[in-house]
Structure formats: C-alpha cells, structure tokens
Amino acid sequence: MKPVIGITAPAGGAENAYVALKRDYVRAVEAAGGLALLIPTDDVRGSAEQWLSLCDGLVLSGGGDIAPCFYGEEPIPQLTSTDRARDAAEFALCRRAKETGKPVLGICRGAQVMNVAFGGTLWQDLPAQKAANICHKQDTPSRSELFHSLALTQDSLLARIMGEGKHECNSYHHQAVRKAAPGFRVAAAASDGVIEAIEQENGRMIGVQWHPECLAEQNPDHAALFAWLVKTAGENR
C-alpha cells in the first residue's frame, strides 16, 4: 500500500479547488511513491482529525497571503487578499499532524502557515519591510526555471535530504518567515538573508519558501523533498 499524502487545496471563489491546485503537487508526490489525496480548505477545522486519519503525511500547498491578525499585526498597504477560513483550516491540519507525529512539507505559503501555526511571524511584504538585495518574485514563463541560490544550514535535516552547501531554487513570493516559531529553526537562507526554509527540531516538519513540486521532475535535489515525505510517512503506518 502506498503512503497517502494529503495535499491542501484552495477552495471558494470562481475556481474549482481541484483545478486551482496545480498538477505538479500530485505528480511530485506520486513520482516519489505516494498516493495523493486533495483536501479542500474552505472549512475543515471541525474535521481536521478525520482528514488526517486518512493520511500518512501532509503537504501544505502554496497560495495567497495569511491574515496578519494570526500573528498579532495589522495589514500593511502592500498585503494582498487573504482567506481566514483557509488559514484556520490549514492551521488545524498542521497542528493535528504535529499531535499525531505525521510528517509535513510546507511549500511557499505552506511554510508560512507552518510558522504562524506554532507562534512565528512573517514579513508581510519583503520590498516594503526588509532590505532584500535580490528579487524573490520571478516573472518567467516556466515555473521550473531556477532563479536564485540558497545556502542550507549545516547539519540540518534539509541539508541531509538535499545535500550540503548551496542550491538553486525558483521564487514566487513577497512574504517570508520573519521570526521562526518556537521549536523550529532556520534551515536555509538566500544570499540577502531572507529565510528560505524552516524545520521542526524533531525532524517531522519542513517548510520551504520555493516551489519544489515544479522542479522535482528535472532536479533530484528538489525531488528528494517528496521522497523524504513519502518515506517518512510510510514509516508511520
């Protein structure tokens, strides 16, 4: 039996949740040997326990901005649209995964969800709030295009998964982790100091600011993240 990996899917609005979620997530999970299960996030707070009971691991997918009220701030002018129902649903799923020891991979927004869920904070807008010296929001036709470098923290779980030293990634964000949540540490950073990855100290959760699902097919170091998730999820069964 393949490990079942839940993937949070945006819900509501004009787009169908299953169409809005890019196929790259599903393909990356299944190429790593997992079975993908899409979880709609319009409001699963009351059923987070049941959804997680169907899964061996979880992917928190990318998307829009997190409402800053969840980390004690008011919105700045550069903040884009938010979805508090999705925020609350993913917080509930993430916290339940921690309680049950199921591995979680947070991707872009998902890394931010992970951080805020356990008490961390965010930069609401990098250009407005932090002197970032490189572009973090590329505008290229293909999301599989590598864009900037990142350095992995020595002796981190992420470095063991992807390989020590510098790597390259794609980049599609204007928010980022500001202060890592208690129990988490910085696992990677860009050359300008922007946090690119965090990981839980017990090794069950990793959040990355880039989109490895778009890179996994052609880049083994990024595919390794999904291999880790599926393997760890399988060990939990």
Give me the active site residues, please: 108, 211, 213
Distance CA 84, CA 98 (A): 21
Backbone dihedral angles phi then psi of residue 44, each to the nearest 5 degrees = -115, 15
Contact present, 233 and 204 (Cβ < 8 Å): no
Distance CA 230, CA 194 (A): 28
Handedness of CA 223, 161, 10, 146 (dihedral sign): negative
Place of tokens 């649209």: 81
Distance CA 104, CA 5 (A): 9
CB proximity list for 124: less than 8 A, separation 6 or greater: 65, 68, 73, 75, 76, 78, 79, 175
Across the beta sheet with 35-40, what order do the strands follow? 35-40, 4-9, 57-60, 104-107, 205-208, 195-200, 184-190, 148-152, 166-169
Distances (CA, A) of 176 to 14, 44, 141, 218: 27, 25, 23, 26
Determine the distance from the C-alpha atom of residue 69 to the mean position of all C-alpha atoms in its chain, rounded to a whole number. Answer: 20
